[in-house]
Amino acid sequence: MGARAVLGTTLAVACAGAVFSFLLRHKDLFWGETEECRVRGIVEASKLLVDEAVYSTMRRNLHKRETISPSQLLSFSKLPEPTSRAASRAADIMEVSVQEAMRRAHLGSAPSGPPTDVLSEDLLKTIANLSGCQPYMLPPRCPNTCLANKYRLITGACNNRDHPRWGAANTALARWLPPAYEDGISEPRGWNPHFLYNGFPLPPVREVSRQVIHVSNEAVTEDGQYSDLLMAWGQYTDHDLAFTPQSASHAAFGGGADCQRTCENRSPCFPIQIITLRDYIPKILGPEAFGQHVGPYRGYDPAVDPTVSNVFSTAAFRFGHATVHPLVRRLDARFQERLGLLPLRDAFFRPWRLLEEGGVDPIMRGLLATPAKLQVQDQLMNEELTERLFVLSDSGTLDLASINLQRGRDHGLPGYNEWREFCGLSRLETRADLRATTSHGSVADKILDLYGHPANVDVWLGGLAERVLPGARTGPLFACIIGKQMRNLRDGDRFWWENQAVFTEAQRQELGRHSLSRVICDNTGLSRVPRDAFRVGTWPQEFESCDSIPGMNLGAWREAPPPEDACGFPDKVEDGDFLLCEESGRRVLVFSCRHGFQLHGPEQVACTRRGWDSQPPVCKDINECEDVTEPPCHASARCKNTKGGFQCECTDPYVLGEDGRTCVDSGRLPRASMVSIVLGAVLVCGLAGLTWMVVCRWTHADPESSLPILEGEGEGTSQLGHGKPQDVSSPQHHSPAGDSEQTGTEGQDARALPGV
């Protein structure tokens, strides 16, 4: 009987457990929870996680302002502006939500593969909408005025009328190949040590930097052809094209890494200049590769997407770091080094040197007259960048090579071989293949000792290690990627300067006369420059007077004055402005409002024989605080509307964080508490002083009530007023009970004893 009872109990418990587990997994069948409700709960929980991480980051930055680390400096330089910050937050929320949805879909097993293999497209759209990512994926509203066909928007949006987000700010970087993440979402390659690639784990990026990329400052080879300005122009262009704002949070949420976000990447409005494509890029690619990958301009092609790609932004165009010289050379008016050589580490975040050590001109002379560092396979990056980046006292340094390698992994870039195949180049499978591609056996051996197989190599390192093409400063892979990107930026730009519909023939001729040397003449104190600023010049033989450097004649843009008509010009628009335009032979005014104001009325009015065809519009203040869908201030702050803007205000002791919208605990007492403490201390001190004055006056005014202590030889007695002699050590005079037994003046005198 006992065994049967035990068996029955065991079966009952097992059945109950199975039923309970089934109910938990399929509770929506019984309680009616819909998929949308579950997703909404996931997204709301993700918002709390992300916002807490953002808050923790701001609180840490607030409390560590006096001890800024190099990583903080790097992040501060990439702090997003409000629109980008909102996109970054939405992307973080979407990423965390997708990770949690995949985890639940796998019921505890490790997820693998991209989210689209596990979650339905409708589910991902729902998450994108609830997280706030959806608005950044939808096409923006494009203006329909005569100016919209004449000038590009500052955001780069609406350049392509059919695809208005192509090339615009706050849009994702383009992917030319599917991303490579170890969890299918955001975990970069090499994140999980048990993951093997062709039988080998990926090496730590710092180890790659130390063993393959690093070279001492003294060992660098200088470029005998091109000046340091070639490197500086590449840095300027790269930071313009490839800028991706820092994630709103540096604190990890959900145990994840701070990786590339779904929709936070911000490609700018691609202001490619004539100097870049005509003078700079041919020197980087070489004449043969430039003709193959860029070629001549054949007009605007609306089918070409000019969006900056991930591989260009995070790998190929970072080749320029291998051309950075470890020294900043500053030359006087006779091109002599009077100010001394400046190590690069002593120039980072030190703008005061411009004010106190000669200004911009000595640096510009140094850029023109001294060679850049030559990119050599066994001298890739000097120690100023790998060991001393952003030196600030004893707070540590960064390694730019490690940052570049990890950046590529964070952005989900596939390996070296995938990109070679993308560019029509052969895959590398053996040590001999890699040796032949680099033409440097020892470098190839070091790379394979770390990676195990050529296909595992990070694309940034693989591209840098390739043998440089003739007349170029890059190998075949980076020449292909950079050339493709530059061609897309040119051909996909409706406002490209060579487009027949943008400028007149006379204007294009003037633009063609412009050069970087002319820019330097017009904006510095230099009176002599090389005709080609990118070629290292010898002073004074190869420097020409600025008077002989051609420049643009702006007369080609002079417009004829408007004809006399019945319209004239309207009064000035308060908090706005208007521009004159011509459309179908008619004079047209296009109105706009300043930031924080909204146009009420027609955006465009045309001149007719009877005057303007409608009344001009007005600009009215936008009350941002009334926006409940996207409130401008965090829930921790109070929103106050101002003319043309708003203010987020905090209650003491909270202060605004670095985002300007979230209240962060300052860690100090509220001002009201401090005032109370000070007033309390003043009151206590005042009462003490007043009491002392009263006692002193009372004792001096009534001599008979003075309390002299009668000294006796070893008797220890005293005379208290009219009372009898008492032993001062008696408990009766020191305990509450003793005091309460006394009456009359004797009791009063006894209570006054401690004050004597």
Q: What is the DSSP string of 418-445?
A: HHHHHTTPPPP-SHHHHHHHHT-HHHHH
> What is the Cα 164 distance to its own chain's centre?
24
C-alpha torsion sign, points 49, 51, 52, 54:
positive
Rounding to the nearest 10 degrees, give the CA dihedral for residues 163, 165, 166, 170: -170
Lookup: tokens for 202: 């990926």
SS3 551: coil
Give the separation between CA 596 and CA 624, rounded to whole angstroms: 8
Q: Is the torsion defined by CA of 462, 467, 470, 476 positive or negative?
A: negative
Cβ-contact 401, 358 below 8 angstroms: no
321 is in an annotated binding site: yes
Give, for 382, the enclosing helix (H) or strand (E).
Answer: strand 381-382
Place of tokens 């293949």: 433
From the candidates 106, 239, 600, 722, give the one annotated as an active-site residue: 239
Instruction: Point out which residues pair with 340 in neighbouring strands.
Output: none
239 a catalytic residue: yes
Q: What is the 3-state secondary structure (H, E, C) of 487-540?
A: HHHHHCCCCCCCCCCCCCHHHHHHHHCCCHHHHHHHHCCCCEECCCCCECCCCC
- Indicate left, alpha or beta for 184 from its phi (over 0: left) and psi (-120 to 50: alpha): left
Cβ atoms of 379 and 234 within 8 Å: the answer is: no
Compute the 3-state secondary structure of the chain and give helix, strand, coil in percent, each to the nearest 5: 45, 10, 45
Sequence-distant (6+) residues with CB within 8 A of 705 are 698, 699, 721, 749
| Residues ≥6 apart with Cβ < 8 Å to 447 | 212, 434, 438, 457, 461, 465
- Cα-based angle 531, 537, 540 (whole degrees, multiple of 5): 90
Peptide bond into 540 cis (omega under 30): yes
Burial of 568 (0-12, 13-18, 19+ CB in 10 A): exposed
- Could you tell me which residues are annotated as the binding site for heme b? 321
- Could you tell me which residues are annotated as the binding site? 321
Residues taking part in catalysis: 239
